[in-house]
Amino acid sequence: MLADLALVGFGNVGRRFVRLLEERRDQLGRDHDLTCHITGIATRRHGTTYCAAGIDAAYAAGLLERGGSLDDLSPAVNSRHPKDGIGVIEALARSTAPLRVVVETTTLDVDAGQPAIRHVRLALGAGCHVVTANKGPAAFAYRDLSMLARSHGCSFLFEGAVMDGVPVFNLVRETLPGVTIRGFRGVVNSTTNHILSALEEGLEFAPALARMQSEGIAEADPSLDVDGWDAAAKTAALANVLLDARVTPLDVERTGIGPETASRARAATADGRRLRLVASAARGVRPGVRLEELSPGDLLASLRGTANALILDTDTLGNIAICQLDGGLTHTAYALLSDLITIRRGVRS
């Protein structure tokens, strides 16, 4: 089955996804009867392109990495030049491929989840499936978007929004039928966990953060991570999907970490405890991202470096946990691929 894909956002994750798709081309055809054509790419600052016959996306990724622009691509037969993500989605909506999928990887906006929500809404409304690694849509508008998806017979999937490619949403949906999630606790932000691990070892905050940045773990602007916004967006998405909540990241009680955290982390370690930034929510309880001192018997206390984990409190199976012990770009790109395969599996040939 042929799938036309439009990539809205083409940063590190989008470019890694394109290469993963290339590496897995044979496997997708053989195991899933799925052939993908990337027909559109939209970036914020490096141009936009659409070609109904398919784009050499790996070439486009290289072009961007060499400082080029998608606007430099020579116009081909059937090519159009939409001016932004909206235009690319409108072009995809006119495709007659049996599967049309928008792959949304723009960056998180913690004020309102835009422009990602506009992109997702337009795509679903036009009958296109959506896969995204962006936390915004599920964190700000899960209920609306999932209803819109259902009414158009489309999928709205976002496994990469939390713990990269480690299944969380798929785990609950596909493998825990009939189980009610009562609440969750987790460590869901890698940068802050890595910094807390470094503080425990005696480093101060500023050099710990600088080390994360030099290793490419923290962003140049780390405020989304250290102020707890990334964790708050993930917490809102988890609460909306797993607990039927109707919250946004702004409703999440939020703590960050800073220079003053170092002494607290060391004091906890001296007491045989561990300071961790814990995301939590339960039905009827306000979700939060809070600094907690954990006893050594707590699974979350055992997480070192960039490791993440989510403990689900269930009605039927007690507490179960899923852990990401390694992280990285490939994992997030895999999440998009995994969502794409989930869509293919749900469509009868």
Residues lying near a second copy in the complex (CB under 8 A): 24, 27-28, 31-32, 164-167, 170-171, 174-179, 296-299, 301-302, 304, 309, 311, 316-328, 330-331, 334, 337-338, 341-342, 345
**In the complex, what is the shortest distance from the CB of residue 82 to a second copy, in angstroms, rounded to a whole number?**
31
Which element (helix H / strand E) includes 281?
A: strand 274-282
Give the shortest CB-348-to-a second copy separation in angstroms. 8
- Assess whether the previous peptide bond of 296 is cis (omega < 30° from 0): no
Of residues 91 and 163, the one with the C-beta less far from a second copy: 163
**Separation of alpha carbons 87 and 310, rounded Å:** 38
In whole angstroms, how close is the CB of 90 to a second copy at the nearest point?
A: 30
Question: CA–CA distance from 237 to each of 34, 214, 232, 234 (Å)?
Answer: 29, 30, 9, 5
Between CA 174 and CA 181, with CA 178 as vertex, the angle to 5 degrees is 85
What minimum distance in Å lies between the beta carbon of 273 and a second copy? Answer: 13
234 three-class SS: helix
CA 252/CA 344 separation, integer angstroms: 35
Cβ of residue 179: shortest distance to a second copy, in angstroms?
Answer: 8
Cβ nearer to a second copy, comparing 106 with 342: 342
Residue 311 CB, nearest distance to a second copy (Å)?
A: 7
Q: At 319, give phi and psi (nearest 5°).
A: -90, 130
Nearer CB in complex with a second copy: 13/89? 13
* Closer to a second copy by Cβ: residue 31 or 111: 31
48-72 burial: b if 16+ Cβ within 10 Å, else e = bbbbbeebebeebbebbeeeeebee
* Amino acid at position 311, single letter: I
Nearer to a second copy, 67 or 297 (CB): 297
Q: Closest approach of Cβ 39 to a second copy, in Å?
A: 22
**Cβ proximity to a second copy, 116 vs 196, nearer residue:** 196
- Between 4 and 339, whose beta carbon lies closer to a second copy? 339
Q: How far is the CB of 253 from a second copy (least distance, A)?
A: 25
Output 216 or 258, the one with its CB closest to a second copy: 216
CB neighbours of 288 closer than 8 A, spacing ≥ 6? 235, 252, 253, 254, 255, 279, 280, 281
